[in-house]
Amino acid sequence: MKMRHGVAACFVAALLFGASAPLSKALLKEIGPLTLAGLLYLGAAIAVAPFSVRGGSAELRRRPAERLRLVGAVVAGGMLGPVFLLIGLRAAPASSVSLWLNAEVVATLGIAWAFFHDELGRRGLVAAAIVLLSGVLLAVPEGAAGLRAGGFVLLACVFWGIDNNLTAGIGGFTPAQVTLAKGVVAGVVNFTLGMLLERGTPSAPAIAGALALGSVAYGLSILAYITGAQQLGAARSQLVFAAGPFLGVALSWLLLGERIEPAQLVAMPLMASGIALLFSARHEHAHEHAEISHTHRHSHDDGHHDHEHDGPVAGWHTHAHDHAAIAHAHSHVSDLHHRHGHAG
């Protein structure tokens, strides 16, 4: 049940974000990359503000490590990632950029494995290799002309890979609060820099369109993604999120009239097979949980949440809660409760 909820949340996030590349491509005709990045995240902040009033843990938020994770996520994912993406998008077809965004999966997997104890096993590694191969196939039609744009998109994916791993481990802030922080800080900074450094003032309709796109493709998408990532772990959530670029390609074909490349038709089922292979893998062993306090969306039917409430509670809910130390064995992923190391 927990994995299904995580998969559903990440898939919704992928669909919403997948629309961002082709629609942002149209807005770049009038708005510079810095200014547009700021407007997109200001729109995200507007969308999630009503959901960020409650929840979280004031005690956990005072911890230096928790604040550092949030600052890192804001800088890497909110300020740097979108700017590099939009620079690359301005110089390449939206369909190609949409598909190059699959590099975010590989970046997240590599960072999760190297620094955050995210264990995938052999099937998971093969699945990651399939996803990477799909990305290579998709980039081939662009040739040398797309290398510069692809390099900017790759940088964006690396920064978003850092962001994904940091946000998946944040326990003192709710997903809406994390998104609000990204939206306000990154939005104000990038918009201000854009107005100072980029020529021209966008029209009111263009600004309204950018805010609307940001509210859906960034705000609601990020909110759904963080919710899923906390249940699946950063690596697995990214492999579900890989469905998003395919929507971006379809919209690029339909809305922008871009050409359909044969390599794209080959890579799509290959990508789907990689994601299916990942979720066929099982990871189970005896492991220990240290005592921990954090806040996130959860239910009481997963073997980890047995705390009491003042009144009856059913289904999924979010609040600060404590976990006692426990040792047990069951199938699991690298979510908020399973960031342990592995021998070998």
Give the pLDDT mean for 223-230: 79
Q: Would you state the torsion angle of the CA atoms of residues 210, 211, 212, 218, taken in this order, to the nearest 10 degrees?
A: 90
Using CA atoms, how far apart are residues 102 and 105, in angstroms rounded to an integer? 6
Query: Which residue has 């039917």 as its token pair?
Result: 301
Nearest to 94 by CA among 253, 267, 214: 253
Give the pLDDT mean for 279-304: 63
Instruction: List, in order, residues 6 or more apart from 3 with CB less than 8 Å away.
Output: 231, 232, 279, 333
What does the pLDDT read at residue 224? 86
Nearest to 138 by CA among 177, 168, 105, 166: 105
320: its two tokens: 């600060």
Query: Which residue has 């805010």 as its token pair?
Result: 211
Give the pLDDT mean for 216-245: 78
Q: What are phi and psi of 332, to 5 degrees?
A: -155, 170
Lowest mean pLDDT among 9-13, 268-272, 304-308, 313-317: 313-317
SS3 assignment, position 268? helix
Task: Give the percent of the chain with pLDDT over 90.
Answer: 25
Lowest mean pLDDT among 65-74, 138-147, 166-175: 138-147
Residue 86 vs residue 169, higher pLDDT: 86
What does the pLDDT read at residue 260? 78
pTM value?
0.75
Q: Is the pLDDT of residue 213 over 80?
A: yes
